[in-house]
DNA sequence: GATTAAATGCAAATCATTTGCAGAAAGGAT
DNA sequence: ATCCTTTCTGCAAATGATTTGCATTTAATC
């Protein structure tokens, strides 16, 4: 089954209407496969001059509320969005801005933190910052 | 030695002038001891009506550049700042906004990540989100 | 195809943050 | 203590990102 159809069904499951604007946004996020700023998503939607930036924002916010999209903030890039699929974290090059997805190193840590603090844990987010091999050699 | 004097010396060591505005900002961050938004810092500076919000921003940015202050972004709070002292991470209650400092669970992980990716690691940041015991019982 | 709630386009508003410039203050030298 | 140079601040205005109100359009249901 195509990825886009999977996402259309996720919308239907949450009673969110499948609009062409929503699909266009999800298509960009699927194709790029890295976290993108709202403005970048907007810029990558070609041949839809009537699709407005405010629509991009409204949809991203809705999808974040429905836990279909993750909203992040990266040093140097500001607020970015990615489709919420498998749990993973990010490694960001401070020179070229490259973003690498990495396995989350804290798979089992929330239980320990719960025992230590009494907090009910829901989520965590990690950013690693460094310089990628390509940038190091230049 | 008083904490404030330590910070004045940190400024001198970096050739940053010790101005009364800078001191006022650092005093707020020292006293509150949790990450604060620029606007919150500004609001907590009493009896200095001439001290402007733009000055708060300019100084926070300078202190971030000089690695004396850490700039973070917390879900629900936006951009916040804290004095950079010991390496630690944060646990945030999504109900009441309470922020707890916690020991960093990734003390030795950067080496492993370097070996896996070739990246030169400089820094990392973790946020844990949950609900605190007080909010859970209410 | 008609009905209704939800979504969009559009323009304007809001909020956070930055900037230009003229005057004030800090730190070093005399 | 005064002078000098550079940095810093106040102030007001600009910018950039994000949100909002409202009239119109559209998706989903019947
Ligand atoms: Mn990712
Ligand atoms: Mn802290
Ligand atoms: Zn790079
Ligand atoms: Zn709480």
Q: Which residues contact B56 (CB under 8 A, 6 or more apart)?
A: B25, B38, B41, B42, B45
Alpha carbon distance A81, A37 (integer Å): 6
Question: How many Å apart are CA A65 and CA A69, to the nearest integer?
Answer: 8
- 3-state DSSP helix/strand/coil % of chain A, to nearest 5: 40, 25, 35
- Is residue B58's beta carbon less than 7 angstroms from any atom in nucleic acid strand D? yes
Which positions of chain B have pLDDT values less than 50?
A: none
* Nearest residue in B to A116, CA atom: B102
Percent of chain B with pLDDT over 90: 96
Token pair in block for residue B45:
């500076």
pLDDT (0 to 100) of residue B96: 94
User: How do residues B52-91 score in pLDDT, each as one tens digit?
Assistant: 999 999 999 999 999 999 999 999 999 999 999 999 999 9
Q: Is the CB of B55 under 7 A from strand D?
A: yes
From chain A, the residues in CB contact with B75 under 8 A are 71
User: What is the average per-residue pLDDT within A73-89?
Assistant: 97
Q: Given pLDDT bands bounded at 50, 70 and 90, which one contains residue A33?
A: very high
Nucleic acid strand C within 7 Å of B61 CB = yes
What integer pLDDT is reported at residue B7 of this predicted model? Answer: 98
- What is residue B89's predicted lDDT score, i.e. its pLDDT? 98
**pLDDT tens profile A85-131:** 999 999 999 999 999 999 999 989 999 999 999 999 999 999 999 99
Alpha-carbon radius of gyration of chain A: 17
Is B117 within 8 Å of A91 when comparing Cβ atoms?
A: yes
Q: Is the pLDDT of residue A138 over 90?
A: no
Contact B129 A110 (CB under 8 A): no
What SS3 class is residue A78? strand
d(CA A44, CA A58): 17
Supply the pLDDT for residue B138. 87
- Tell me the domains of chain B and their CATH numbers: 1-85 (1.10.10.10), 87-138 (3.30.1490.190)
Question: What long-range pairs does B18-21 form, CB within 8 A, spacing at least 24?
Answer: B20/B48, B21/B48, B21/B51, B21/B55, B21/B59
């Amino acid at each position: 089954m195509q990825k886009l159809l999977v996402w259309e069904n996720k919308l239907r499951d949450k009673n969110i209407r499948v609009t062409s604007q929503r699909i266009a946004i999800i298509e960009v996020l699927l194709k790029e496969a890295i976290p993108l700023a709202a403005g970048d998503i907007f810029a990558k939607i070609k041949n839809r001059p009537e699709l407005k930036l405010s629509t991009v924002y409204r949809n991203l916010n809705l999808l974040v509320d429905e836990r279909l999209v993750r909203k992040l903030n990266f040093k140097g890039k500001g607020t970015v969005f990615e489709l919420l699929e498998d749990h993973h974290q990010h490694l960001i090059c401070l020179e070229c801005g490259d973003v690498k997805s990495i396995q989350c190193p804290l798979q089992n840590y929330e239980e320990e933190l719960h025992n230590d603090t009494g907090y009910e844990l829901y989520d965590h987010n990690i950013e690693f910052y460094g310089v990628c091999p390509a940038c190091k050699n230049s």
